[in-house]
Amino acid sequence: DAKTTQPNSMESNEEEPVHLPCNHSTISGTDYIHWYRQLPSQGPEYVIHGLTSNVNNRMASLAIAEDRKSSTLILHRATLRDAAVYYCILRDMGGYKLSFGAGTTVTVRA
Amino acid sequence: GAGVSQTPSNKVTEKGKYVELRCDPISGHTALYWYRQSLGQGPEFLIYFQGTGAADDSGLPNDRFFAVRPEGSVSTLKIQRTERGDSAVYLCASSLLRDPRNTGELFFGEGSRLTVL
């Protein structure tokens, strides 16, 4: 699996946006970019995914660089419930499993 | 509930004992995964089932670990002769084989925390 690189941790204030970067310079043309997050004492949960175009859903937005070697997960207004570990994962189009790295631990200050 | 259910939520055992961890996936999900998560690390893939068969067991660390899914629904992860290094949270996930939304989303349970003394 192609590797991703994320910062270990990020802090944010409540109600402010959070931009989580992910580098994936060895991404292949058939790799989707997936984001999951893991709240304390829970299993990971799906956040968003994309291939080439920017994506929005009710949880977040995903901005993908034109060369696809990096992406940014955007939480538009952080709440205390968004404090979690966020994982950026590459998954082949025909693939079935997710390979998790260490992720980015997001702390939200009230 | 409608989510992935894992039992027990916590298991404390002694070194050398046998342990079984159970996963009840979302109804209709044919794909089932087991992951292991040590403190401070991301989940590590163990095994993947399509239906009743293990399609990929490349993540099982050694032959003390075994998993079954005899009827294509509930799965059991079995660990023989447990060691202290087996202490971790064991996560189960399920998914549709053909996802109409094309997200490939895995739905995770809350995990079974195993402590080997």
Chain B residues touching residue A35 (CB < 8 angstroms): none
Residue B93 pLDDT exceeds 60: yes
Q: What is the pLDDT of residue B96?
A: 87
Q: Does A44 touch chain B (CB under 8 A)?
A: yes
Helix (H, G, I), strand (E, B) or coil at A81: helix
According to DSSP, the residues that pair with A43 across neighbouring strands are none
Residue A73 vs residues A64, B29, B54: alpha-carbon distances, Å: 9, 28, 33
Torsion of CA B17, B65, B4, B22, to 10 degrees: -40
B42 to A87: CB separation less than 8 angstroms, yes or no: yes
pLDDT mean by block of 10 residues, chain A; 110 residues: 89 96 94 95 95 93 97 96 96 85 96
Q: What is the pLDDT of residue B2?
A: 83
Residue A3 vs residues A31, A33, A44, A62, B61: alpha-carbon distances, Å: 11, 11, 19, 18, 21
A103 to B42: CB separation less than 8 angstroms, yes or no: yes
Residue B104 pLDDT exceeds 90: no
